[in-house]
Amino acid sequence: MAAPGIEVCRDADHLARAAAERFSDLHSIADRFTVALSGGSTPRRLFTLLAGPPFSESIDWEKIYFFWGDERCVPPDHPDSNYRMASETLLSKVPVPERNIHRIPAEDPDHQRAAESYSETISRFFAPSPPRFDLVLLGMGADGHTASLFPDTTALTVTDRIAVPNYVPKFDAWRITLTAPVINTAKQVIFLVSGADKAPALHEVIEGHHDPRMYPSQLIAPSDGNLTWLIDQDAAGQLTLK
């Protein structure tokens, strides 16, 4: 595994632009570009940028296949849905074929069935090879979680499944998430982290002692791929790197 690259951007807007440029560059070198999107609020700027010129006009949307790293167990039109956010800000605004979009069926009240269905979708898509995303976009919470791999939750130790349901006590809610091993097969993993509230966790994740049960973002270490941290100056506030 290559050492993680850390790029500190001036602010959230510069962070989004750096991410958009990497997205565009990475897609241009792939015949078929498979990407697992992150959720939450940070990627909203990135998606909005990609949905407009110059990116919307230069990106070959037909060859991009969209998946998600995780989803809240809500309907796809729910305000908390990661799919809804991506659809509203990007997917509804660019000519990506509907068949290229692989939403997590997280509205299924049977969370295990939802995770198995999504795992099957991914497995079939990449068959006969094992799943290997060209790009996995990740965010990081102020508690050091990523995707829906939250501190001290059962999904952290699953190594034999592509996606699993994960109960998150702090929200009293269920999520569906890719497992760390699947993320770690990716060719490129890019964390987007913005805001001073993330600074303490980012210091612990990158520079602190190894404790992935408490800081699940430390689980992310691509075995044969690149890990990049795109962070803004606020989020970098407690890093000692010069």
Provide, rounded to whole angstroms, the least separation between the CB of residue 194 and ligand 6PG. Answer: 7
216 binds ligand 6PG per the rule CB under 6 A: no
CB-nearer residue toward ligand 6PG: 63 or 238: 238
Cα–Cα distance, 98 to 22 (Å, whole number): 24
Cα–Cα distance, 228 to 97 (Å, whole number): 28
Which is nearest to 42 in space by CA: 216, 193, 234, 230? 193
Kindly list the distances between the CA atom of residue 202 and the CA atoms of 103, 113, 178, 186, 192, in Å, as whole numbers in the listed order.
29, 34, 21, 21, 11
CB 37 within 8 A of CB 67: yes
Provide, rounded to whole angstroms, the least separation between the CB of residue 91 and ligand 6PG. Answer: 16
CB 37 within 8 A of CB 46: no
Which tokens go with 197? 């509230």
Size of the site for ligand 6PG (CB under 6 A): 15
CB-nearer residue toward ligand 6PG: 141 or 212: 141
Provide, rounded to whole angstroms, the least separation between the CB of residue 138 and ligand 6PG. Answer: 6
Which residues inside 15-54 make contact with ligand 6PG, applying CB under 6 A? 38-42
Stretch that binds ligand 6PG, among 23-31, 85-93, 137-145, 230-238 (CB under 6 A): 137-145
Which residues inside 109-128 make contact with ligand 6PG, applying CB under 6 A? none
Cα–Cα distance, 174 to 74 (Å, whole number): 9
CB-nearer residue toward ligand 6PG: 39 or 165: 39
Q: Which residues bind ligand 6PG (CB under 6 A)?
A: 38-42, 69-70, 82, 139-141, 145-148
